[in-house]
Amino acid sequence: MWLFALGTVMFLRAALGLSPWDVLADGVRTNTPLTFGQAVIVIGLVLVMGSLVAGIKPGPGTIANMLLIGGFADLMLATGIGATLDEAAIWPRAIVMIGGIVMTGLGSALYIGAGLGAGPRDSLMIAVATRARIRVGAARAMLEGLALLLGFLLGGAVGIGTVAFALGIGPAVDVAFQLFRMDSAGKRRRVEPA
């Protein structure tokens, strides 16, 4: 969860646009007295409550995800490390942004591999797919689009980084799954001796 939060903070510091859900958190932060991390936690709480209403019970990992990613992000932001990166030339910001995708991919693979319950967004995705009787991918795309639209309307940071995240996070998670020898369900594959 720390790696996931690190990826988020790298995106914030690069100031080139955020992932769809972080655009929403940034929009909430902009319009409330909440910090960015607190906005992430509140959004997670709303998603968990919505999932509960739809019959999806949170696991310990769901609750940890909801609390820790936002908390870690606020702690990292409070250090001030990289706070002036947004004033730098585009290439160091792009490198940090790409690093953010890599960190989020690694964090996602490790989180999924722990098998302690789906994250708040994943829980809601499952609830929507089940209730609407649509494919999981369609439910996720719809939820990501809705988060992005709401965040944009609230003034969240949208930019080339938003597109980069949308295109890069899938391959980053896939590479991390391969690196940790995980199958598509997040379970470690057995390595047969040669």
**Average pLDDT of 162-189?**
79
User: Is the pLDDT at 56 greater than 70, yes or no?
Assistant: yes
**Between 152 and 177, residue with greater pLDDT:** 152
Residues 71, 53: Cα–Cα separation, whole Å: 25
Q: What is the pLDDT at residue 79?
A: 96
Domain range annotation of the chain: 2-179
Task: Please give the model's pTM, rounded to 2 decimal places.
Answer: 0.85
Nearest to 150 by CA among 64, 54, 31, 2: 31
Q: What is the pLDDT at residue 89?
A: 96
User: Is the pLDDT at 85 greater than 90, yes or no?
Assistant: yes
Residues 23, 9: Cα–Cα separation, whole Å: 13
Helical ranges in the chain per DSSP H: 2-14, 20-31, 36-53, 60-79, 90-114, 120-132, 136-153, 160-179
**Between 193 and 45, residue with greater pLDDT:** 45
Residue-wise pLDDT tens digits, 57-78: 888 888 998 899 999 999 999 9
Q: What is the pLDDT at residue 76?
A: 97
Contact predicate 182/189, CB 8 Å: yes
**Between 167 and 9, residue with greater pLDDT:** 9
Residue-wise pLDDT tens digits, 88-141: 999 999 999 999 999 998 888 888 777 777 778 877 777 787 788 887 667 877
Which residues are CB-neighbours of 92 under 8 A, at least 6 positions away?
85
